[in-house]
Structure 1
Amino acid sequence: MQIIIYNQKGGVGKSMIATQLALSFDTTIVELDPYGMLSDTLGKDIVYKVGLNENVPNIKEGDVIYDFGGFDDLRLDEVSKNADLIIIPFNPTINSLGTTLKSYKRVKEQNVPILFVVNAVLNDKDVEESINFIKENTQDDIEYFVIPHTRALQTVENEGVSIIEFANTSGLRKHTYRKISATMKDLVKTIEEYL
């Protein structure tokens, strides 16, 4: 399993999604974001940090999640050769959609299945409008998954734990985090369909 998480827009949830997927699939993250701090949070056993001017290790087999930074990284072309899925997270806001379209056009060239993840959603209307905008501007039938806005995901990212595991640590947490935990389980199931 090789998954790429990519959007040239920063702050859309790439590292949060990489963290949750890596912990759910028990796999390694290759962090290509020069400003990323996943190795500090999760540790060097889970995260392999690659500097901006360093080559990405050529991983042909095994499970890995590539967490790209918020810019057009030319290393995407090489990494895509073994990828099973490219995830494009984005926030359903005006300032995120233009860069997300640009990012989609960039990854579409790779001939790898693409899943949009609409992140930090406050209402369904935002999802509908943003997905319609992408469809109208690409003329493509796209697949997407929705993650609602919640501080819980930031909390667990800072702790370096899975929301699913975190929710099961006590009865109160299980109740409090049941919706976002179920959402992340559904995301994992959705991704498994591509593998």
Structure 2
Amino acid sequence: MNNALGEKPAPFGAPETTATPGEAGGFFETGRPRLGGLQNPVGFDATQAAVIDAAADTIIPPHPDWPTASEQDLVTFMGRYVTPSGYKNKHFPFATEDEFKAGLDRLGQGFVDGSVADRTAAIAALEKAEDPLFEQLRALVYYGYYSRPVVTLAINRNLPAGRDYHGPPLPYGYLQTTEPWDEELLTQAQENGSYLETDEVVRVDLSQLSWTK
């Protein structure tokens, strides 16, 4: 960052500069996301926090052998990875403060007070409707939960294949080797790419193939 050029840090202590320094509407962090998220997390009101905890226990149901998701302070974790209001969203899971909070408000106290079956149905309805809130909640719950040291210890204790597991690797992923997906690239992918829906996939008959010369 070059202060001589008038560049300002992105909000809440994030390490990079915005696309239009000092002005809302610039990209929130132009480079790598901050390790550990925002220094000062986005805040949630009491009902929104309760919705997050209830959603966490719905996505990862409590079990006596595993830490309970709602007891892992996922509210603060999510606040560290939600893009603050007034800044364009750039990093996964692409949750903006205003839209994310609006989604939590839609679920509301009724979701918190509902039975396990009711909450499960509500989350399933979000998934079926392809509501962005579902993917954001799922990602943030999983990432927050499995980043906790107490969960790592539970994996070591409960899973034979997890005895040597020591936590999530590659905190920056593959950012240095992956091209950014801007609108132009996404448009090209839509024009040139294709896929089959699950219902269109057919079994390939390999019985006539020979594996010998």
Q: Normalised by the shorter chain, which TM-score bucket? A: under 0.3
**TM-score normalised to the size of structure 1?**
0.27
Tell me which of the two structures has the higher relative contact order, counting C-alpha pairs closer than 8 angstroms and 6 or more residues apart. Answer: 1
**TM-score normalised to the size of structure 2?**
0.25
Higher strand share: 1
